[in-house]
Amino acid sequence: MRLLGTIVAVIAILFLGAMGYYWLRDGSLESAGRELDKDLSNIDQKTEPLQNSLGQLGDGVKETVDRATDGDDRT
């Protein structure tokens, strides 16, 4: 539970830091939010191949487990 709390705290601090940076740079929270949304969208687009690869990896693991257990969850 401590690890999860630390992860959430770090993400919150990074988000507030980024919002603060854009707010000081642009002078308004509206433009800060717009800039942060644009940057997060760019990150999502740039990591799309990685997201697809991880999805395929997850599907492969599921297929392997299904084949190993023959669909029987007791094994």
Which pTM was predicted? Answer: 0.50
**pLDDT tens-place string over residues 12-69:** 999 899 888 888 988 888 888 888 888 888 888 888 888 899 889 989 898 888 888 7
Work out the burial of residue 60: count CB atoms within 10 Å of its CB; fewer than 13 is exposed, 13-18 middle, 19 or more buried: exposed
- For residue 74, name the pLDDT band (cuts at 50, 70, 90): low
Output the pLDDT for position 14: 93
pLDDT of the residue at 13: 96
